Structure 1
Amino acid sequence: MSDSTKRPLTFPNWHIPYLEKHRILELFHEVARELVIQKPEDHVLFMKQILQNAAAGRDVSRVILISSGKVNRINLAEEIAKYTRQMVITSSDILNIFRNKMKNVSGDYVGKALVYLVRSQAVMSSGWIIADCVNTEEEAKSLLTYGVLPTHVLHIVPQFQPKLDDLLYCNVSEHWPEVRRNLFGLKQLFHKSLHEIIAGNKDLPSLAKDCADVIKIHKHVKRVMPRVVILGPRGSGRKTQAKLLTELLGLVHVDFPYILCQAWISENELGAKLRQCKKKVCLHSELLCQIVNKRVLEEDCLQRGWVLTGYPYTDIDFMFLDSIDTPPNRVVILDCDLNVCKERICHRKRNVFTGSVTNLKPSGEPNAEVINKKKSLRTHPKDAIDIIEAEHQFYCQRHGSIKKYCGDTAKVINADQNERWIHETIVAYILGANPTGIPRKGFQKDIPEVCGCDCVKIPPSLAKTYLVSV
C-alpha cells in the first residue's frame, strides 16, 4: 500500500487485529449498505445518526421463511424466536396496517408495509423473522427494491407425506402448482442467502433449534489472518489438530513448551528473569506472555498466521495474551473425557534411538516383528501416570474460569469424536465469520507489572516435568 506520492506505507502490527477485534470492517459494511439503500441528502448527518444502529445491526439476523403450503411457518417462526429473541412478522401485521383482506393487497404494497414494520426501532435492534408474508416473486422483488435485505432465507423442505395434524404442518393449498412455481422463483431471487433445511421426521422444537443454529452463522465480510489458540486437556488432540492446520492452511505451529525451553536457556533479559525464579519453575503470566508475543511477531507468523498450543494456563494468562499487539482471533476448546485422554497417552511410546512416536493399542498375540519393535519403545518421562493426572487436575481447576472469560468468542468442540470430523469443524470455524460474542478486553492499557515471583501454583510433579524439559 502507498500514499499519493507512491511512497510505501508501513502499518503497525496491531492495526489489523484491532479492526478485527472490534469488527470495524463489518461496521463500515453495514453503514455503506444503509447509505446505498436510503440515499440520504446529507450523508455526514445520516452517518452520525445511523452509526449507533449500524453497530447494533452487525449481529442482527434478518430472516425470511419460505416453504410449500404444508409447513406452518407462523408456528415455526414463533418457536425459532424463543432461541433467537427476534420479532416475528406475519400477514396479520400487514392486515392491521391496511385494514382489509390480504388478497386485495398488491405485492408492491406488501413490500412497503414490510419496510414500515422492519424499520421500527424495536425490530431493527432485535432482528426479525418474516413468516408468511413473502409468497410470490412480486412481493420478494418489492421487498428487495425497498432495501429490505435478509441475511438468511430458510427454505423448509417437509417430508413427503407429513401428518397434517402435527403443529408443524397445515393443510396443502388448493393452488398447489402455482405455489410450486412461486417457491422456485423465490429460491432464484434469494439464492445468495438461501439455506435449505430438511424437516424429515423432526418435531417442531427440533426443527426450530436447527433453524436457530443456522441463523447464528453470519457470512464474513473479509477473510482474516488466522491467529488460533487450541485449548484442552493433555491427550485431547491439540498438537494433532495444530499439525493438520499447518498442513492445510499453512499456519505456523507455535508449541509453547518448546519456545518456553528456548527462552529459558537464552542469554537475554527474558531468559535471566525466568531463571531467577525462586521456585525454579517460573509460570508468571506476564513473562510467559512475553515469550509468546516475541514469537508471534516474527515474520512467518505475521505473514501466514499461527496456531498456539500448550498455553494459556489460566484466565489471567489469557488476559495477558489478549493484551499483545496481535491477539488471537479464534479460540478452540477441545472437550474430551479425561479417561479417553489418559488412554491415548498411555498407548503412546517413543523410540529410544530415533525419538519417533508410535501408538500401541492393546491387541491379540503380537508377532515377532511387533515384539522386536517394542524392545526399542519406551514411555516418555512426561507420560508417567502421576504426571498425567497432575496435569489433568491442574487443567480442570482452571478450565471453568478460562471458558467463562472467553464466553461466546470460543468454539467448544467434542474431542471424543473422529479426528477428521474435529479437524473439519475447526477449519469451518476458522474460515467462517468472526465470532459474534462480545470481544475479550484483556488488560487493555492497565497491564500489571511483574511482582517479584508471584507464580501460578502448580503440582510438584508438574513442576518436575518442566524442569526435565528445560
Structure 2
Amino acid sequence: VVSMVASSMETKALMDANTAYCERHKVFQMFEGLMSRLVIERPDDPIGFLIGELQADRKPRVILGSFDTEVLAAQAEALRSAKGLVIVDANQVLSTIVASSVGDEAKAHLDKGEPIPDLLLVQALTQRLLSDECAQRGWVLLNFPQTLEQAQHLLAMGNLPTLVVHLDVPLEQTLARVTLRRYDPDDPTGAVAFHLERNPPSDPAVLARLKQRPEDSEGAVRAQVARGTGGGP
C-alpha cells in the first residue's frame, strides 16, 4: 500500500511538473495555433507546413478591443512603440475601401444605401493585414471582429491572431471620458478636440459654441456597451 501511495504521489508530481512546463512555455497555445493554421490553410504537405510554421519568424498579430476608444488608442500606441506593430483600424479601412480591389462591389452597395457586407470588409482588411509592412512588423487590429460572422471570415482568410485582448474599462470611467468630449463646429478641419475637464478652450466664445457629437452622448455610449456585453439589442 505504501509503495502504491508513493507511486501515485510521484505520478502526480510528474503531471504537475509537465503542466507547469507547458504553461510556462505556452505549449498548449502553440499547438492550438498550429492546428488552427493547419485547418485554415489545408496544405498538401501538412508535416512540411508545420515544420515551416515552427521555423518561421512570425511577428505578433494582436486583436485589441475596448468600448473606450481613448484607452484603446493609448494601448495600441503603446504596442506600436514597444513592439513596432502596425495599427490597423477597421474604420479607417472602411473609409478607404472604395479604393481597394473590392471597391467596385463596395461602392455598389453604398450607392444603394446598403451596408458593406462583412465579406467585402474582411477582404479589404485582409489586404492590409497581409501587406509587406504588416508581415514585417506584425499588427494590432482595433475593435474587429465584432460579430461571429466577421470572426469566421477573418479566420477563413488566414488572419489568425497570436493574441486577443479585450480591455475592460468601468462604465462610469468611460462615460466621464467620452461624454465630456466636444468639438468646435466653426473649425472646418475638426483637428482640435476638447474635453470639458481635461483641455477646455481658454476662449469663452469657443467654449460657448462647442458641440457634442451624437456618438459621445451618454445614451449612445450606454447603448454601445450594452450591445457589446449582450445587455441590449
Q: Which of 87, 102, 123 in structure 2 is aligned with 1:270?
A: 102
- The aligned residue for residue 255 of structure 1 is 89
Q: Which residue of 2 aligns with 1:392?
A: 225
8 Å Cα contact 2:109/2:116 also seen in 1:
no
Question: 1:190-220: CA deviations, max 9, x gaps?
Answer: xxxxxxxxxxxxxxxxxxxxxxxxx884235
* Alignment gaps of 5+ in structure 1: 1-92, 100-112, 130-149, 153-214, 400-458, 460-470
On the 8 A contact 2:64/2:72 being kept in 1, the answer is yes
Query: Hey, what does 2:51 align to over in structure 1?
Result: none
Q: Rg: which structure is higher?
A: 1
CA distance 1:369–1:277, change in 2 (3 Å) = closer
Conservation of the 8 A alpha-carbon contact between 1:228 and 1:329:
yes
Q: Are positions 1:344 and 2:177 aligned together?
A: yes
Q: CA deviation at 1:282?
A: 1.9
SS in structure 1 of the partner of residue 225 of structure 2 = helix
Deviation at 1:372, TM superposition (A): 5.9
Deviations 1:274-310 (A, max 9, x none): 2333872425221221121111011110000000113
SS of 2:230's partner is: helix
Q: Structure 1 length normalisation: TM-score?
A: 0.36
Map 1:10-409 → 2, pairs under 5 A = 95-96=2-3, 117-118=10-11, 127-128=15-16, 152=20, 217-220=23-26, 224-235=58-69, 237-263=71-97, 265-266=98-99, 270-277=102-109, 280-350=113-183, 352=187, 355-361=191-197, 369=202, 371=204, 374=207, 377-397=210-230
Which stretch has the larger CA shift, 307-316 or 377-386?
A: 377-386
> Quick one: structure 1 residues 398 and 251, their matched pair in 2 at CA, closer, same or farther if it must change by over 3 Å?
farther
Give the C-alpha shift of residue 377 in structure 1.
Answer: 4.8
Letter in 2 for 1:359: H
Contact 2:181-2:193 within 8 A present in 1 as well: yes
* Paired residues of 1:235 and 1:344 also in contact (CA < 8 A): no
- CA drift at 1:234: 4.2
Deviation at 1:151, TM superposition (A): 6.9
The change in CA–CA distance for 1:306 and 1:335 in structure 2 (over 3 A counts) is same
Higher relative contact order (CA 8 A, sep 6+): 2
State the Cα distance separating 1:320 from its structure 2 match: 1.4
Could you say what secondary structure the match of 1:307 adopts?
A: strand
Percent same amino acid among aligned pairs?
Answer: 23
- Structure with the bigger percentage of helix: 2
Distance across 2 between alignment mates of 1:257 and 1:233: 14
| C-alpha contact 1:234 1:392 (8 A) present in aligned 2 | no
Q: Which amino acid aligns with 1:361?
A: E
**Secondary structure at the counterpart of residue 156 of structure 2:** coil
SS of the aligned residue for 2:88 comes to strand
Partner Cα separation in structure 1 for residue 222 and residue 101 of structure 2? 34
How many Å separate the matches in 2 of 1:281 and 1:393? 25
Question: Using the alignment, how far apart are the partners of 2:62 and 2:135 within structure 1?
Answer: 13
Aligned CA RMSD, in angstroms, stands at 3.9
* Distance change (3 Å), C-alpha of 1:291 and 1:387: farther
1-side partners of 2:206 and 2:78: how far apart?
Answer: 27
Name stretches of at least 5 consecutive residues in structure 2 with no aligned partner.
28-53
- Contact 1:315–1:398 at 8 Å: present in 2 too? no
Contact 1:235-1:342 at 8 Å conserved across structures: no
- Flag the 1:234–1:284 CA change in 2: closer, same or farther, 3 A: farther
In the TM superposition, what whole-angstrom CA distance separates every residue of 1:87-123 from its partner, at most 9, and x where no partner exists? xxxxxx9x51699xxxxxxxxxxxxx79x944xxx98
CA-CA distance at 1:330 after TM superposition = 0.7
8 Å CA contact 2:68–2:169 kept in 1: the answer is: no
User: 1:391, CA displacement in angstroms?
Assistant: 2.8
For 1:242 and 1:394, locate their aligned partners in 2 and report how far apart those are by CA, in whole Å.
23
Tell me the amino acid that sits aligned with residue 249 of structure 1: K
Question: Aligned with 1:253: secondary structure?
Answer: strand
